[in-house]
Each structure stands twice: as C-alpha cells, then as structure tokens.
A and B are shown apart, each in its own frame.
Chain A
Amino acid sequence: MILGEAEIQQFLQLAQRGTDEKQRESALVSLRRGLQHPQTQQTFIWLEGSMRTLVGLLTSNRALLQLEAARCLHELSHSEQSAVAEACLPATSYLLTYLSGHSSDFIELCLYTLGNLIVESEAVRRRLLPQGIVPALAACIQSPHLTVLEALGYALSQLLQAKEAPEMIIPSVLGSTLPQHILQLLQPGPKLNPGVAVEFAWCLHYIICSQVNNALLISHGGLSTLGLLLLDVAGAVQRTEDAGLELLVCPVLRCLSNLLTEAAVEVMGGPNQLEDERVVAALYILLQFFVQKQPSLLPECLWLLNNLTANSPSFCTSLLSMDLIKPLLQLLPVSNVVSVLVLTVLCNVAEKGRAYCQHLWPGPLLPCLIGTLASSDTEVVGQSLELLHLLFFYRPEVSFGPGTPVLRPVVSPWPLSLSILSIATFLGLASLCGLQFRTCSLWLGRHSSK
C-alpha cells in the first residue's frame, strides 16, 4: 500500500505519542508495510523530521517499538536509490551500537540493514568505517547464534565487495581478528553450518582476489582449511545430500586457486603446500556434479585443476595413477572455454617429460585431439597443437615417415593412413589461420624425418 505524506505523518505521530502500546506498535507496522513501496520510501525521506522520529523510536526503551522501527529502516535499506540509503545515515551509529547487544533477532535485523545500506551508497560506507564497523563486526562474530553469523557474513561480504575495499577496508579487516574467526567458521565437520559458511567463503574470496595480504591468510592455515572444506563438500555431494553445500563450491574454488599463486606457497615441501591428492579426487567429483547441474561453473573447477597441476609433478602423477585422463577428455565437447582448460591441464602433464607422456598414449587422447583440431575456435586449435607437439616431442619413437607406423604395433594398432588423414586435416584447417599453417608446417618438419 502506497502511503502519502499525511498518512506517514499520522502513523509516526501515533507511534510516538499513542497512549496504547498496541496502537503505537500497529502504527509502525502499517508504516513498515507502506515502506515496501519505493514511492512511499521517497515520500518518507523527503518529509521533514521523519527520519529523526524514526531514529527516536529506534533508540527508545520500548522494546517492541524499537523492533518495529528497525524493521522500517530495514525496508528503507532495500531501496536501490542511494538517496534513500543516505537518508538513513543518522541511524548508522545506533545500528552499530546495537551489534554489541544480546537480542539475536534485533542484531540480525541491524546486520541485514547495514549490509543493504553498504551496497547502495559509498557515502554510507565512508561514514561506517570511522564509526567503527570493522571492530563492531569483529566483536559480533563471536556470537553463538547462527542467524546472527549468517547476517554478519552477508554484511561483511557487501563491505568487502565495495570498489574501494582493497585500499580502504580490507587492510583493517586483515588487521582485526576477523580472518581467524572466519577460518574457524569454515572448519569442516559436524559444526559447519552451510548458510554461515557460504557467506564467509565469499568474504574470503573478496579478500583474497584483492591481493592485499594473502600471505597472512596462508599463515593462519587458510590453504589447509579450504582444502579440507573442499573434501567435505565433495563428500556431501557424493552422498547426494541435499544440504546446499554445493553453494560453497564456487567461492572455495576461487579462494584455493588464487591462494595457490602466492609466493608463500611456492616453496616445495614447505608447511604451506597443498599436497593431498584427495583434493584432486574431490575436484573430479565436483566436476562430475557440475557437468549435470551447473556447467557454467566447470571453468572454475578446471582453473583449480590447472593451478594444482601446473607446478606439481605429484599432482600430475595423481592424474595418471588414478586414471583421471579419460574423464577429463569427456569434458571436451562441453564448450570451447572448457576445451582450452582441459587441453591446458593435459599440457601441464605432458610438459613434464617422457615419463609422463608415456602414460598419455596410447589411449583415447589422439582421437580426441583430432576432434579438437577440427574446432572453429582458434584457441582450442592452438592449445591442441601445443599438446600434440609436447606428446610427439617427448615420444621420439613415434613418427610419420613412410612405411613407419605411427606407433609401435605392439602398443597400438593405429594405421598409417589415419595419421596421414590427420595431417591432411591439420593442413586443411590450418588454412583458416596463417599462423597455424606456419606452425603446422614447422611441426610436420620437425616430426616427419626421423
């Protein structure tokens, strides 16, 4: 119901001065319903004294009026107009003060309101920081109430997503006790609450991808916590539990992938390494899950697989020993982006030398590569050529000379005609792109006379 100026004024007066407690409360309930409409929100903020009255009710000692006033503010916070968010500025110091209270419902409401206001207006954020929002959240994160924690995670995630966050917000968040508490809330086990964990996983992602001080998170055990969490999530997905844990996957994948690029992780065998091959098993289970449920998230999974295998002979060996090449090839038809990533991971394995290439063929790899060479996407074709080059480079007994089989007969029955056919296919396709034609001819030159 859209309210006009007179009606808003009437409800506010009733709420302030009504004699009957119930009457005052229901006046605010009516106001709240009206404030669900953008038009009423606009009328309200332009009405002189309205916010002052609402803040007065918010800070009164009438608990139920306080709750309803907070709900009115919460409605206002939904507005997409930054002017409405800015009109709520007089209330922010009180919303923050109430975070150190004890009433979980009320604190939850204050947190969601703050989170919404944070999104809509930079002016609000500029006010909240000196008002002490980071220490207030750091104190509040010790609450035992799951609904409060979920709301806090939401508010913090909105704060961390602000465009000025890397310079203005994340340094003070990292300087507080928040990182340790966040990692604690992400510890896998029976106490893990999916709703809470999702919010804080996103918080971690915004911190990590801003690259302010990821070494700090690694020193707090971030890699191992996130790795174990991934195992937990994959386990739940495997048991086809409908716990909503799959919503955790996206931010956890991003955190792990980005953390792996930090210098602190580069030290081989050091304490910060992620070396458990169960992470690879978990990743494949998630790949299988996403192929069916959410193919748009496959690239993110494969990104982690790339970062795990790129500099790690151990993980590359795991792919071979656990027989994980073939499942990877099954992903090639999904999309070009997925194909490039799959081929890149295979290149990660092949570039490590003969011992690795030996295991890559014979097998389904060659027919798949012939397929990808037929792609219309130049990046797919380029990556396929890189892989083929590596495979042939490290398998010198394979050649295309006349009368010489492509592969030794004892290993595989590939006929010479098929290899000639594939060369013809290369050249035919290579005419699509001059560079590739040159690449192909160089490649042929290198491999033909052996």
Chain B
Amino acid sequence: MQLPPALRSRLLGAPGAAKPLPVERDPAAGAPPFHFAARRVRFPRDHEFFEDGDVQRHLYLQDVLTQVSESPERPRVPEFTCQAAGCCQVFDSLENYEHHYHTLHRNVCSFCGRAFPSVHLLDVHILEWHDSLFQILSERQDMYQCLVEGCAERFRSGGDRKEHLVRRHLYPADFRFDRPKRSGGPATPGAAVQDSAEALGEGEEQSGGDAMEVCPERAAPRPEPVGQRRTSSHRIPSTICFGQGASRGFKSTKKRKEHQ
C-alpha cells in the first residue's frame, strides 16, 4: 500500500479540519433498488467482528501471565540487617527487605506495636483501641466504621460492625484485621503480648509468640516500656531506597523475539 509522501508530514502538522466541499444530496439517489445510506456502525460486545482482535489479545495475555508466574530471579546483594529499632532480620535481596519493611515496620501502632497492612486499618485501630474520646463518643453514637473501602456505614459496636462485614460484604467471620479488644478501656501495653498475636494475623495455627518476635535470636518477646514505644520511629531509614522507578515495565522485547 503506497501512501502519498505528504501524509507523513501531515501527521506531524497542526491540528485542523478540511474545509468541506459543498454537499448536494438528491433523495432520488436512494430510490430502490439502491438503498445505500451512509451511517456509523456500532458493534456490541461479543460480536463476531471482534474475533480476530480478541484472539490476538488472548495470545498476548498468555505470554504476560507466563512471565508473571515465572518467579523472577531477584538480584542478590551482600547480607544486611533491617535498621528498624529492635529488628535484626537479615536479608540478601532488596525486594524481600522492602516487603518485610512494609509488612512489619510501616503501619505500626506507636502505642502497642501492632503492625497493619494499610494506613486505613492502622488509623481505625488507633481510634478504636487507644482513643478515650472514641470510647465516650461511641456510647452515644455510631462510631465503628466499616472496614471496607468505599462503604460509609458506621455502627454502635464492634460486634455490629462484624455482622455487617459478614452479611453485607461477605467477609470471613474470623477476619484477622477486625479482632475485638479484650479490655474495656484503651488497650495497654501490658495486654499487648497476648492480643498482638491475634491482631497481626496469627491464629491458632501459628506458633505462639511470633507476633512480637521480631528478632529470631530473642528467647521470649518483651514489650518495651510505654515511653519508648510511643516514640518508636517508623520512618524509612535514610540508607535504604526502594527505587520507585524500578519496574518490569513492558515485556515487549522478550515477547516479540518469541513471536518472530
């Protein structure tokens, strides 16, 4: 297919529409047996017109999914230790360290040391477990918010909230990030050892004491004094950089080589 040379430069030129030639339709042009009428065509989903393109898409996805499931070879680095206070876990890859940091040290309650998977869950926890004003207000109005993002419902008690999570959102009844508080008032560090095992998602299947055990060498977990706990920092250590730009990106080169 040969294209006029000016076309390529037109693509790079300024936006603009051609001044249309005058339109002079004669209705007799459409008289039977001729019935052409210019019209825009719409194809709904699953129309057979889409078959060929859909096959291409499917083949492309097969390729992508194969690449995802092949466990990538993480570059090994000389062993280093986690810099967070009280943690002496050792790593030989940055990706493993990144996940460890985000799981254990990122969204940490500075009152009781429990770690949460997201900022949202941490905020809810601090409000419900460590805020005495919350306790007072919750006696008068619905304060327990639904844990599901996008649901604005609030409830009178943790129990009501759990029932809502199970009935409305089909959550498991033993959802690990919605453990009830044992004591009536704000949680104290003393109770931390027993409770934290549950809050961090340890069930009866897990070995006890895992929750507070951040360093394998320690014989038994010891809660730190309240003062120290509250000031424990969970900023990212300056020496570590997670390199947000690092990405697998588009795997085009590998795929095209396979297809050619």
Q: Which residues in A have some Cβ–Cβ distance to B below 8 Å?
A: 16-17, 21, 36, 52-53, 56, 59-64, 66-67, 71, 74-75, 78, 90, 93-94, 97-98, 100-106, 112, 116, 127, 130-132, 134-136, 138-139, 144-147, 150-151, 154, 166, 176, 193-196, 198, 202, 206, 209-211, 231, 234-235, 238, 242-244, 247, 250-251, 254, 257-258, 260-261, 275-278, 281-282, 284-285, 287-288, 291, 294, 296-297, 299-300, 303, 306-307, 309-318, 320-324, 326-327, 330-331, 347-348, 351-356, 359, 385-387, 389-390, 393-394, 435, 438-439, 442
- Counting CB contacts under 8 A, is B112 at the interface? no
A60-B206, A138-B150, A393-B28 given. 16 additional CB < 8 A pairs?
A16-B207, A61-B104, A66-B99, A97-B118, A151-B68, A154-B64, A211-B44, A254-B53, A281-B8, A282-B11, A313-B23, A314-B17, A315-B18, A316-B20, A393-B26, A439-B34
- Counting CB contacts under 8 A, is B77 at the interface? no
Complex Cα–Cα for A195 and B63 (A) = 13
**Could you tell me if A235 and B12 are in contact, using CB atoms closer than 8 angstroms?**
yes
Question: Which of B126-134, B224-232, B244-252 forms part of the interface with chain A?
Answer: B244-252
- Kindly identify which residue among A195, A309, A393 contacts B251, using a CB–CB cutoff of 8 Å: A195
Complex Cα–Cα for A394 and B26 (A) = 9
Complex Cα–Cα for A327 and B2 (A) = 6
**Could you tell me if B36 and A355 are in contact, using CB atoms closer than 8 angstroms?**
no
- Kindly identify which residue among A60, A75, A321 contacts B201, using a CB–CB cutoff of 8 Å: A60
**Could you tell me if B3 and A284 are in contact, using CB atoms closer than 8 angstroms?**
yes
Residues of the A chain whose Cβ atoms lie less than 8 Å from the Cβ of B34: 385-386, 389-390, 439
Complex Cα–Cα for A300 and B57 (A) = 14
Chain B nearest CB, measured from A350 CB (Å): 9
Chain B nearest CB, measured from A31 CB (Å): 13
- Counting CB contacts under 8 A, is B187 at the interface? no
**Could you tell me if A78 and B65 are in contact, using CB atoms closer than 8 angstroms?**
yes
CB closest chain-B residue, reference A295: B52
CB closest chain-B residue, reference A196: B250
9 pairs, A vs B, C-beta closer than 8 Å: A61-B115, A63-B103, A131-B169, A135-B150, A150-B250, A250-B57, A306-B40, A311-B40, A386-B34
Residues of the B chain whose Cβ atoms lie less than 8 Å from the Cβ of A136: 149-150
- Kindly identify which residue among A90, A98, A317 contacts B20, using a CB–CB cutoff of 8 Å: A317
**Could you tell me if B168 and A130 are in contact, using CB atoms closer than 8 angstroms?**
yes
Chain A nearest CB, measured from B140 CB (Å): 28
Q: Which of B195-215 contact A (CB under 8 A)?
A: 200-203, 205-207, 210-211
**Could you tell me if B23 and A353 are in contact, using CB atoms closer than 8 angstroms?**
yes
Residues of the B chain whose Cβ atoms lie less than 8 Å from the Cβ of A193: 249-250
Complex Cα–Cα for A114 and B33 (A) = 55
Residues of the B chain whose Cβ atoms lie less than 8 Å from the Cβ of A106: 99, 102
**Could you tell me if A63 and B12 are in contact, using CB atoms closer than 8 angstroms?**
no
**Could you tell me if B53 and A314 are in contact, using CB atoms closer than 8 angstroms?**
no
Complex Cα–Cα for A231 and B247 (A) = 26
**Could you tell me if B119 and A100 are in contact, using CB atoms closer than 8 angstroms?**
yes
Residues of the B chain whose Cβ atoms lie less than 8 Å from the Cβ of A151: 68
- Counting CB contacts under 8 A, is B237 at the interface? no
Residues of the A chain whose Cβ atoms lie less than 8 Å from the Cβ of B121: 97
Complex Cα–Cα for A127 and B207 (A) = 31
Chain A nearest CB, measured from B66 CB (Å): 10
Total interface residues on B, CB under 8 Å, equals 99
CB closest chain-B residue, reference A74: B69
- Kindly identify which residue among B28, B171, B176, B248 contacts A131, using a CB–CB cutoff of 8 Å: B171
**Could you tell me if A261 and B40 are in contact, using CB atoms closer than 8 angstroms?**
yes
CB closest chain-A residue, reference B146: A132
CB closest chain-A residue, reference B54: A250
**Could you tell me if A131 and B170 are in contact, using CB atoms closer than 8 angstroms?**
yes
**Could you tell me if B40 and A17 are in contact, using CB atoms closer than 8 angstroms?**
no
CB closest chain-A residue, reference B253: A242
CB closest chain-A residue, reference B202: A60
Known: A132-B151, A242-B256, A353-B22. A281 touches B11 (CB 8 A): yes
**Could you tell me if B248 and A393 are in contact, using CB atoms closer than 8 angstroms?**
no
**Could you tell me if B202 and A61 are in contact, using CB atoms closer than 8 angstroms?**
yes
Residues of the B chain whose Cβ atoms lie less than 8 Å from the Cβ of A196: 250
CB closest chain-A residue, reference B211: A61
CB closest chain-B residue, reference A238: B8
- Kindly identify which residue among B10, B28, B118, B169 contacts A101, using a CB–CB cutoff of 8 Å: B118
CB closest chain-A residue, reference B13: A278
Chain A nearest CB, measured from B18 CB (Å): 4
CB closest chain-B residue, reference A13: B205
CB closest chain-B residue, reference A143: B244
**Could you tell me if B10 and A281 are in contact, using CB atoms closer than 8 angstroms?**
yes
Chain A nearest CB, measured from B39 CB (Å): 5
Complex Cα–Cα for A288 and B23 (A) = 30
* Residue interface mask B8-49, A partner, CB < 8 A = 1: 101111011111111111101100011111111111110101
Residues of the A chain whose Cβ atoms lie less than 8 Å from the Cβ of B210: 60-62
- Kindly identify which residue among A97, A139, A310, A389 contacts B177, using a CB–CB cutoff of 8 Å: A97
Residues of the B chain whose Cβ atoms lie less than 8 Å from the Cβ of A393: 26, 28-29
**Could you tell me if B33 and A67 are in contact, using CB atoms closer than 8 angstroms?**
no
Complex Cα–Cα for A435 and B260 (A) = 47
- Kindly identify which residue among B20, B53, B205 contacts A250, using a CB–CB cutoff of 8 Å: B53
**Could you tell me if B11 and A103 are in contact, using CB atoms closer than 8 angstroms?**
no
- Kindly identify which residue among A101, A134, A244, A260 contacts B256, using a CB–CB cutoff of 8 Å: A244
Residues of the B chain whose Cβ atoms lie less than 8 Å from the Cβ of A132: 148-151, 169
**Could you tell me if A231 and B11 are in contact, using CB atoms closer than 8 angstroms?**
yes
5 A-B pairs closest in CB distance: A135-B150, A195-B250, A244-B252, A313-B20, A353-B24
Residues of the A chain whose Cβ atoms lie less than 8 Å from the Cβ of B115: 61
- Kindly identify which residue among A56, A66, A105 contacts B95, using a CB–CB cutoff of 8 Å: A105
- Kindly identify which residue among A112, A257, A284, A389 contacts B65, using a CB–CB cutoff of 8 Å: A112
**Could you tell me if A21 and B216 are in contact, using CB atoms closer than 8 angstroms?**
yes
Known: A63-B100, A100-B149. A352 touches B4 (CB 8 A): no
Chain A nearest CB, measured from B174 CB (Å): 10
**Could you tell me if A145 and B244 are in contact, using CB atoms closer than 8 angstroms?**
yes
Complex Cα–Cα for A264 and B34 (A) = 30
Complex Cα–Cα for A413 and B20 (A) = 30
> Which of A130, A281, A331, A442 counts the most chain B CB atoms within 10 A?
A281
- Counting CB contacts under 8 A, is B71 at the interface? yes
Known: A145-B244, A145-B247, A195-B249. A93 touches B29 (CB 8 A): no
CB closest chain-B residue, reference A439: B33
- Counting CB contacts under 8 A, is B125 at the interface? no
